[in-house]
Amino acid sequence: MRRAVCPGSFDPLHHGHLEVIARAAKLFDEVIVAVSTNYSKTYRFTEDERLEMTREAVADIEGVRVEPMGDGLLADFCREQGAEAIVKGIRNAQDFNYEVPMALMNRHLTGVETVFLPAESAMSHVSSTMIKEVFDLGGDVAAFVPGAVLAGLERTRS
């Protein structure tokens, strides 16, 4: 069983994440989408909301399950789950420069390897932060998020 972890805050999950998860599911027997919660960070959505929206969004992708990761080390989570790889999407050089030191540290900690997938160009400008800002300012983000996330965003509208 070749198992990989796709980690993230998923606050909220968007189509760029989904694209990477779907591609990872073709490369590995099982993909665990790890929803992290750093307890010193502020999120738009609670951990339960992020888990629920993410589970609904990946329901049709075979071989994928969604688990909470808490605020521990990603490398430890991978070891506990029996995952040999972390899969991350890379949108640009900034992502690459940010991710490579983390990949090397994770490998140092437990031997887990990181696989980088280049983001589809149509998704390379998309981020959770940008989606929240555009949504809050009245912009249409329906093209970038699954239905469950759009409904979740609507619920947060004050």
- Closest by alpha carbon to 54, among 76, 40, 46? 46
The answer to the question of residue 36 lying near ligand PNS (CB under 6 A) is: yes
Q: Is 127 a catalytic residue?
A: no
- Cα(50)–Cα(152) distance, rounded to whole angstroms? 9
Helices (H), the chain: 15-27, 47-58, 74-81, 93-110, 128-136, 147-156
Which positions from 59 through 78 interact with ligand PNS, judged by CB under 6 A?
A: 73-75
CB of 117 to ligand PNS, least distance (A): 14
Q: How many residues line the site for ligand PNS (CB under 6 A)?
A: 10
CB of 48 to ligand PNS, least distance (A): 17
Packing angle, helices 93-110 and 74-81, rounded to 10: 60
Half-sphere exposure of 134 (CA within 13 A, CB side): 15
Of 3, 55, 91, 107, the active-site residue reads 91
Q: Which residues, listed in sequence order, are joined to residue 90 by a DSSP beta bridge?
A: 118
The answer to whether 34 and 77 have CB atoms below 8 angstroms apart is: yes
- Cα(83)–Cα(14) distance, rounded to whole angstroms? 24
The answer to the question of residue 16 lying near ligand PNS (CB under 6 A) is: no
Q: Which is nearer to ligand PNS, 61 or 73 (CB)?
A: 73
CB of 108 to ligand PNS, least distance (A): 9
Q: Which stretch binds ligand PNS (CB under 6 A): 3-11, 55-63, 114-122, 146-154?
A: 3-11
Of 26, 41, 65, 125, the active-site residue reads 41
> What residues line the site for ligand PNS (CB under 6 A)?
7-9, 36, 73-75, 102, 105-106
Give the active site residues. Answer: 17, 41, 91, 128
